[in-house]
């Protein structure tokens, strides 16, 4: 009985370790993508290097909205020329 309990704990510990490693990998990938995204935004490197994840997402969304708005406004103005 003790051997079965030990195996169950061992299996559980291995599963937990695998889950922790997967989570660590996901966080690392997320950090890399956000780093790349921050440096793609039209800001000085010194500014973009100090942004947190939420700020990067907010600024990216705002940038995309402004880009879309300017593109739509440009199309509107060229139609009236």
CATH class of 2-79: few secondary structures
Helix (H, G, I), strand (E, B) or coil at 43: coil
Measured distance CA(72)–CA(81) in Å, rounded:
15
Measured distance CA(69)–CA(13) in Å, rounded:
52
Q: Which sequence spans correspond to the domains of the chain?
A: 2-79
Integer-rounded Cα Rg, in Å, for the chain is 24
Would you state the pLDDT for residue 3? Answer: 57
Per-residue model confidence as pLDDT tens for the chain (81 residues): 455 656 767 888 999 999 999 999 999 999 999 999 999 999 888 888 899 999 999 999 999 999 999 998 877 656 554
């Amino acid at each position: 009985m003790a051997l079965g309990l030990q195996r169950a704990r061992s299996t559980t510990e291995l599963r937990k370790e695998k889950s922790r490693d997967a989570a660590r990998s996901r966080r690392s990938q997320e950090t890399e993508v956000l780093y790349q995204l921050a440096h793609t935004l039209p800001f000085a490197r010194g500014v973009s290097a100090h942004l947190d994840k939420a700020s990067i997402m907010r600024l990216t969304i705002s940038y995309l909205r402004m880009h879309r708005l300017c593109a739509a406004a440009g199309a509107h103005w060229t139609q009236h020329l």
